[in-house]
Amino acid sequence: MDTLDIAFAEARRYLASLDSRPVASRGTTADMLAPLPAHLPDQGMDASEVVRAIAAAAEPGLTGSATGRFFAWVKGGALPAALATDMMCSAWDQNAVLASTSPAGAVLEEVAGRFLLDALRLPAEASYAFVTGCQMAHATALAAARHRVLERLGWNVERQGLAGAPAIRVLANAHHHASVTRALRLLGLGSDCVVPLGSETPGKVSADALRNQLADAPGSPTILVLNAGDLNIGACDDFSLLCPIAQAAGAWVHVDGAFGLWARASARMAPLVAGIEQADSWATDGHKWLNTPYDCGMAIVRDAAAHSAAMRMTADYLTSGGAVRDPMDFTPEWSRRARALPALAAMMELGRSGLAALIDRCCDHAAAIYDGIAPLPGATGIARPTMNQGLVRFDGSDGSNISDAVIATINASGEAFVSGGTWNGERVMRISVCGWNTSSNDVARTVEAARQALIAHR
Ligand SMILES: Cc1ncc(COP(=O)(O)O)c(C=O)c1O
């Protein structure tokens, strides 16, 4: 058997096992190390032997994250066309850095970018970058924001750096994801620049809080970070209200839409993110709700000139410029895989209607899991999903919070995988549905696993 055949057979075997394998891996570190050489071999090994050894080593430690019963964090599996395209990308091994290094990488990325803006109904003139994930999408878009807010004050951050620059304030939804903070750290802005904004409504920024902060330091370079879907309750900011307030004060509005931006693709869910197109930049993920394999984040920037000013770089050994855009003018990486192609494949496989149906179906499944679990004895519904995220709490018969213990039991059952979180100071179980292949049967199995786990703990 040829090496690639072995790899395909292993991939197929894993996918075929998803319905029956425990979602959480059960292997130990020793199980994973056993099939591998203990030390770097002096002599190279036969390629087929290597692939078999790696498959055997990984198998006991594989999470069934591609199943329809993986509800932890926020992730979907890989759509068939996206997965197959990703595998072709590895075989082609293109360096999608310039149109000259990979015409296919650059041209197909342009199509993917066009389809992306269309699917999300964002301005057609916006620029985009396909990066590793939403955190790097934040870093990319916020670099464009940093460029523009400082350039307006006569400071060129790409040339002059940040030492001595006017201090940038980042007003951010108090429930912003930690990846925003890390992106700000990477950009040299530091986490101290963040001013958290909250409100009476959970997960949302209040207009008054925003106005007060803007009035506090008029004229100072300001970026506002809003949420389209926080990872606990899927809360979305009121973009129609907040964007004009911030922009009238000269602030740049950036949206963390890691998954929630995809609500734009569904007529039913789009009202949750009404007005989001008014922002200046958006960060999202393909590997969440678009169901591409990992390594697919997207940064979208209305001000393409700011985006390219922040990222553009060249060297005399590179041939750049031409009719097709050079991806590296918009990305933080130099060499990179052709990661836009699996996203293009996912969008083509789904089409506009399939994408909308996927979003709606996940939201329905999230609500069904919540509705199945919240009434169980010992369970309390904390947040019924308005999108695809919900929260429940579990209490023992003595009234103590046993959410983490119940989560551990559900995960140990192998039937489903969920994660915990802290909401309003109490431990809760998160329900997060993003998978293209989650079915009603998966919902029923998950509810039953929660029922059994509660019985075991009460
Ligand atoms: C709301 C939100 N923002 C950002 C991120 C970070 O995304 P990534 O892991 O792709 O960098 C996540 C990941 O779960 C998220 O849920």
Unique residue bearing structure tokens 């029956």: 20
Do 124 and 197 belong together in one domain?
A: yes
Distance 413 CA to ligand 1 centre (A): 27
Boundary of a domain, candidates 347, 376, 398: 347
Do 115 and 176 belong together in one domain?
A: yes
Average pLDDT, the chain: 97
pLDDT digits (tens, 9 = 90+) for 372-427: 999 999 999 999 999 999 999 999 999 999 999 999 999 999 999 999 999 999 99
Do 145 and 243 belong together in one domain?
A: yes
Supply the pLDDT for residue 316: 82
53-62 mean pLDDT = 98
Residue 442 lies in a domain: no
Do 184 and 302 belong together in one domain?
A: yes
Supply the pLDDT for residue 24: 95
Do 14 and 89 belong together in one domain?
A: no
Range of the domain at 256: 84-347
88 has pLDDT over 80: yes
Boundary of a domain, candidates 326, 347, 368: 347
Report how far residue 277's alpha carbon sits from residue 243's, in angstroms, rounded to the nearest whole number. Answer: 9
Nearest to 436 by CA among 264, 217, 288: 288
Do 121 and 23 belong together in one domain?
A: no
pLDDT digits (tens, 9 = 90+) for 280-317: 999 999 999 999 999 999 999 999 999 999 999 888 88
Look at the chain and report how many structural domains it folds into: 2
- Give the atom of ligand 1 at the shortest distance from the alpha carbon of 135: 11
CATH number at residue 291: 3.40.640.10
Distance 107 CA to ligand 1 centre (A): 28
- Give the atom of ligand 1 at the shortest distance from the alpha carbon of 256: 3
Do 47 and 159 belong together in one domain?
A: no
pLDDT digits (tens, 9 = 90+) for 242-290: 999 999 999 999 999 999 999 999 999 999 999 999 999 999 999 999 9
- Phi-psi bin for 161: left (phi > 0), alpha (psi -120 to 50), beta? left
Report how far residue 37's alpha carbon sits from residue 46's, in angstroms, rounded to the nearest whole number. Answer: 13
pLDDT digits (tens, 9 = 90+) for 132-155: 999 999 999 999 999 999 999 999
Q: Which pLDDT band holds residue 87 (cuts at 50, 70, 90)?
A: very high
For ligand 1, residues with CB inside 6 Å are 73-74, 133-135, 177, 179, 231, 256, 258, 285, 297
- Give the atom of ligand 1 at the shortest distance from the alpha carbon of 285: 10
76 has pLDDT over 90: no
124 has pLDDT over 80: yes
Report how far residue 358's alpha carbon sits from residue 49's, in angstroms, rounded to the nearest whole number. Answer: 40
Do 106 and 53 belong together in one domain?
A: no
Report how far residue 367's alpha carbon sits from residue 363's, in angstroms, rounded to the nearest whole number. Answer: 6
Q: Which pLDDT band holds residue 234 (cuts at 50, 70, 90)?
A: very high
Supply the pLDDT for residue 320: 78
Distance 135 CA to ligand 1 centre (A): 6
Supply the pLDDT for residue 314: 84
Share of the chain above pLDDT 70, in %: 100
- Retrieve residue 87's tokens: 């595998």
Note the Cα 78 to chain centre separation in Å.
13
Distance 52 CA to ligand 1 centre (A): 33
Query: Per residue in 204-235, is it b (16+ CB within 10 Å) or e — as a string?
Result: bbbeebbeebbeeeeebbbbbbbbbbbbbbbb
Supply the pLDDT for residue 254: 98
Supply the pLDDT for residue 360: 98
Residue 374 lies in a domain: no
368 has pLDDT over 90: yes
458 has pLDDT over 90: no
Report how far residue 107's alpha carbon sits from residue 112's, in angstroms, rounded to the nearest whole number. Answer: 9
pLDDT digits (tens, 9 = 90+) for 307-349: 999 999 888 887 777 889 999 999 999 999 999 999 999 999 9
CA atoms within 13 A on the CB side of 81: 12
pLDDT digits (tens, 9 = 90+) for 205-229: 999 999 999 999 999 999 999 999 9
Distance 88 CA to ligand 1 centre (A): 26
Supply the pLDDT for residue 317: 84
Determine the residue of 75, 130, 132, 135 to mutate for testing ligand 1's pocket, defined as the one with the most ligand atoms within 8 A of the Cβ atom.
135
Boundary of a domain, candidates 347, 372, 395: 347
SS3 content of the chain, % helix, strand, coil (to 5): 45, 15, 40
1 has pLDDT over 80: no
Do 14 and 108 belong together in one domain?
A: no
Supply the pLDDT for residue 319: 79
Do 52 and 123 belong together in one domain?
A: no
Do 212 and 316 belong together in one domain?
A: yes
Residue 71 lies in a domain: no
Residue 198 lies in a domain: yes
Do 94 and 59 belong together in one domain?
A: no
Partnered with residue 46 across adjacent β-strands are: none
